[in-house]
Structures are given as structure tokens and as C-alpha cells.
Structure 1
Amino acid sequence: MTTAPVADLPSAFAAAPDLDAVNALLPQAGVGPGWAKPKPSVYPQPHKVFVPAHWRAAETRSALDSAARYVDTHMSERRNLILVNPHEGNDYATARTLVAAYQLVLAGETARSHRHSPNALRLVLDAAPGACTIVDGVRVPMEPGDVLLTPNWAWHGHDNGASADAFWIDFLDVPFIHLIEPMFFEQYPDWIEPAGEPNPESPYRFAFSQTGPAVRAAAETRQGERWLELGPPHMTTIGLALRHLSAGSVLHDPRTTMNAIYAVLEGSGELTAEGRSFPFARGDVLVVPAWTPADWIARGEATLLRVSDEPMLRALGLLRSETPA
């Protein structure tokens, strides 16, 4: 039921003969009836939209190699493939608060320096000596398995001075920044930020030569499972941890409000979530959205990087996990 525009809304509300007449006037006051919401605004547990999914490194690397014939870093600052969660209506995010992308920088190529509000990081899959990310004027070397941070508003660009192409996975909290809206972006005045000799001891680099042995030597959290948190430094919106699965281990993860993206550093196995099975191998990416239980099987020893929104949820008092049965 609608009503013609009225000049004196208070009088119209006072004269309304029934609730239908009140409801019909509400849009003119710019409000909606809390007693007749079109859909619930609160509910007993999360309404899931994002779905578990899997991306194969072999397929994406092949696609990037092909695209590199036509797309250079002057045409697009980042030659990357975005891992779009396949839920209806989505065109960007991998999980509610996070996005991941595969990126390729060719041998001898540079990718322009810039900075932005979102926190970002990358997991190196393939790189040869001479490949670097420049972070705030410091040249940070890249080696396979390394995790490199580019925090909020830090200048960063890529310089692949190696004789081989560099291939990695980017992770950013762009979907979260889109949600709360403080997005800022700035290109470096010149193409690439100047930097000196590579600094392998940069605090923004977690070298797999160190973190790999450390996670394998960590105490078991459950039979067949070990964890290693990466930090400091830490990012306020993104949590990083290595997860090591022993050969033959079978693990169940209960539901949690945390969104998690996993990237496989080494090994193989299978993830099952919401009735779908995803066999994974080195370089693959898997997403386990919030409130999704997950079952893992390691075919052999496997090490994965988990990128999550855990620290943000914890700080806001919104981190909750289901108690295992």
C-alpha cells in the first residue's frame, strides 16, 4: 500500500486509521518498519554466501604465460589473475574480507611501485636469484616459499633482475577496505622506487629456508599437525601461519567465524568441504570461508600457508569456533 505525498507527515501519522496506513507513510519519512523487515537483520548463526573453492597453479601459470604475450607491466601495473570466489553475484573477492591473485613478472621486467590502504603480502612460488620486491626503498630478495609483506601504505614494486620469470601469489584485504571504504591509492612519482643491495634480513621477509624447518620442528597441536605463526611484524587485519601436515594425517576443522585462504608450499593432499573434494598440489590455492567445516587428508607431508582475518576478528571480539563433537 502506498499513499500520495503529504506536506504534513506528523499530522498524517496522527490521523492514520490503521497500521497499513502507517506503513504506507513510512517511506516518505525515509524509514522502514522494524516490525516488518523484508528479511531478518539478525539470525541464530552466520548466513554463508562465499563457498569453498580451489584454484590450480598449473592452470593459472599457463594462463599467465599466455597472457604475457599480450599484457606487459606498462599496460597493467600488475599482470595477475584474481581468484574470484564462485558464488552468485561476486566479481572480485576470494573470501568475504580477502582476495588472492597469481602474479607473473618476467625475467628482466619491473612492475611499477605504488602504495595503497590495503595490507598485502605475497607467497613466492618460483623465483631465481636477482628477483626482488622493493618495499619502502629496501630491496627484499625472493626465493621459493618466502612470504613477503607490504603493509598498509608502504611503497612497493617488483624488480625481476633474474634470468627466469618470477611467479607468486598475492593476498590483500581489499574486500574489507571496500566494505568500510577508506581506500587510497598512489603511484610512485617515477616508475620504480630506487633501492640498494638486496637485504635478505628485511623484517618484511619470512624466508622459507628458516620457516620451513621451524614448522616441521614445532610441537604437534594435534596428531599429525604442526603450526607456526609468522611474525613479527604482524598485520592488523591479516593473520599468517604455516601449517604442516604429516604424511597420512586426517584432520577435521570445526566451523569458525574466521575466513581462511590456504596456499600449498609443498606436498599434496585433499580438502573436503560442504560435500566437495579438492585434491591439491604445490602452488594451489584453496579457500575455506567463515563457518565452513573442513576435512584434510595429507597424501605425503604437506606445508600450507594460511592467510586469514583472524587478528581482526579477535580484536573485535568476533572470533568464535564451534566445539568439535
Structure 2
Amino acid sequence: MSEPVIEQLLATTGLDELYPVVASLRMTPGWHKKRPSLWKEPRTEFRPLHWRYDVGRAALDQAGRWIGTDLAERRNYLLFNPVGDNDYDTVRTLVVAFQMIKPGEYARAHRHTPNAMRLILDAGPGCYTVVDGIKLPMRTGDFLLTPGGCWHSHYNEGEASAYWIDVLDVPLVHLLEPMFFEDHPDRSQKVVAEPAGHPFYFPPQRTLPALAAAPGDDGVQRLTLETAQHIPTVDISLLKFAAGTGRDFGRNTASRVFAVVAGRGTARIGELTAQWARGDVIAVPSWSPYEIRAHEDAVLLEVCDEPVLRKLGFYREGARPEAPEHSHPSDEAFES
């Protein structure tokens, strides 16, 4: 005797009767999908976006009146892309945040699967992070790594609030689902070493001379930081633009974010034109054409997921689409 479900299938007299039966079995006819599953070129709901540091800093200062690190694990603002109900991801694989710690505060220790990195915007003596017992300074212009699985906590023993930009690959971990998180059993770590140099620590005294010595191309220089052995999911680079120079980067399948280390300029990403300044954050989703021009000497930090796409064979570059016939309202911003 046939199973009831097979009898139900065989009893259907047409497609209109068949579809609800197979749907109840959690099967979708490939010819009758609700939405396409393949398309001619990459597309994304993520939007090019620009966040200003002066706005983020003011918002952090205001929150600091009412919320401390005793109440919030981290006092930060996540820079999210308005995709559906998303209030976390900045681009598909990366999340960026502005964070602040006040004098006398510490952010308790924890560890997690995602990798993290930090660009320090404004911080003086006495601000530092501890990564697996290693004490690393957090001063203006510093860039630091916190590879996945490392205990990390932040301290401010100085006299002024400290501000920085966090970049993490949490959304990538969400997509792949290998997430682990753990609070430190003692809430804080014991400092076991305070080295003069460390592979997780990139001070401007080290990076900027190397960037200045990097080969230039039409006024733009690039220094790729040696971070792959510690954080293999992203490439991290510093880009230096001479005043009045810029570049059309075309588009590619990687997602990326930029943080402005110094200078001012204009970015055009897809339909977005943004005037950027020090401390600002710019999101460039996958397959978005983007162009960056500096109005004064400038340095930008770039974090992108290109290594993941290359490893999987998904990385591809494409030319920038032809400009529309109508003029862009901010074209004058690109005049040198």
C-alpha cells in the first residue's frame, strides 16, 4: 500500500493542486520559484553609505552621559546598512562601529570567533588594549588587530575620552554560522607583556613612512599591511592620495569599507556622492563602481573581503558602467 503522502501526490489532477502539496513537503518546483535564483551579474540590496565622525562622536558623547561600560559591554554605534530589518551589517561581510571609552573606564574582556581591528581616531597616553595578555597602546593614528579567539579588553587611564573605529567580520561569521563567544571568567586580563613592537600593532610611526615609500600610480600610493597570517578573511591597506588626485577604481565583487585617517575629499560610489573628512567611514558594497578624489593630501584605511572571494574563486573585476546622460548634481566637487 502506498504511503499517504504518495497517494496525495498521485491524486492531484493538475499543477494548481500539485504545487501546495509539494510545498507542504518543503519542495519548490525549480520552474515555479517565487523569485529568481540566478542573474546575469552581481546585485546587492546593500547601499553605498557615508558616516561622519563628528556626528558619531557627538552621539557617543551624549550616550556617555547615561551609559557606561558597567552597563554596556561596549559603548559603540554600529554603522548599519538599511537592508530589510538589518540594524547591524555595514556591508555583506563586515560591520563597522564608532566606539568611545571615558577616562577611568575599562571594557571587560571577552573573546569570539570573528576577527576585529581598530583604527584609533583620538586617544592619548593611558589608553590601551590587552590582547591575550599583551598590552598594546591605543593612541591617535594607531591601528590594531584582535584576531578571532583572542581575549581582548580596553582601558582608559588617561585624562580624556578615547574614540576609535572598529571593523569586524561578524556578518561573514553569521553567514557561515561558526560563531562562538565567551566572557572572560575574571572580567579582566592580567598583563603578561608590554612589548616595544608586536605584529598586532601598527603605529603611524611605522606605517606612514612605509606608505610614503610605496610605489605611486597617478598620485595614489598603496601599502598592504602584513595581516593575512593573523586575519585571513580580509585585506587591509592604507591608501595615500596627493592633493588634487583621485582614481576611478571601477567595480569588483568584493565588499569594502574605508575609514579616513587624514585629509578631505570626495567619494562617488554608485549613485552616492559624499564629501569625506578625517574619521569618516564609507561603505562600498559588492559590484558598486567607486571613485575617490582628494582635495588635500589624504590617507584612507581600506578593509575588504577580497581574500574570501579569491579563495572561493568568486572574485571578478568589471569596468565602471558608462555615466548616465544627465549630469551628476555634485560633479563640481570633482573639479581640482
Q: Which residue does the alignment assign to 1:34? A: 30
2:247 maps to 1:251? yes
Look up the SS of the partner of 1:43 in the other structure: coil
Distance 1:256 1:214 in 2: 27
TM-score by length of 1: 0.93
1:63 Cα offset (Å): 1.1
Matches within 5 A, 1:5-44: 8-44=4-40
Look up the SS of the partner of 2:103 in the other structure: coil
1:199 Cα offset (Å): 2.4
1:196 Cα offset (Å): 4.3
CA contact (8 A) 1:121 1:172 kept: yes
Matches within 5 A, 1:126-145: 126-145=122-141
TM-score by length of 2: 0.91
CA contact (8 A) 2:259 2:282 kept: yes
Cα 1:197–1:109 change in 2 (3 A) is farther
After superposition, give the CA deviation of every residue in 1:56-114 in whole Å (9 maximum; x if it has no partner): 11111111111111111010110011111134432111001100001111122211010
**Unaligned stretches of 5+ residues in structure 2:** 322-336
Pairwise CA RMSD: 1.7
Look up the SS of the partner of 2:317 in the other structure: coil
Matches within 5 A, 1:139-158: 139-158=135-154
Q: Which residue does the alignment assign to 1:3? A: none
1:234 Cα offset (Å): 3.7
How many residues are matched? 319
Look up the SS of the partner of 2:31 in the other structure: helix
Q: Which residue does the alignment assign to 2:333? A: none
Distance 2:218 2:281 in 1: 24
2:248 maps to 1:223? no
Match of 1:198 among 183, 194, 197: 194
1:10 Cα offset (Å): 2.2
2:118 maps to 1:94? no
Look up the SS of the partner of 1:282 in the other structure: coil
Q: Which residue does the alignment assign to 1:46? A: 42
After superposition, give the CA deviation of every residue in 1:104-143 in whole Å (9 maximum; x if it has no partner): 1112221101001111110001111221110000001122
Match of 1:59 among 44, 55, 59: 55
After superposition, give the CA deviation of every residue in 1:245-271 in whole Å (9 maximum; x if it has no partner): 111113111111111100000011010
1:197 Cα offset (Å): 5.5
After superposition, give the CA deviation of every residue in 1:264-318 in whole Å (9 maximum; x if it has no partner): 0001101012222110110011111101001211001110000111111111111
CA contact (8 A) 1:97 1:176 kept: yes
CA contact (8 A) 2:220 2:246 kept: no
**Unaligned stretches of 5+ residues in structure 1:** 1-5
Amino acid in the other structure paired with 1:229: T
Segments of 4+ moved more than 4 angstroms: none
CA contact (8 A) 1:141 1:199 kept: no
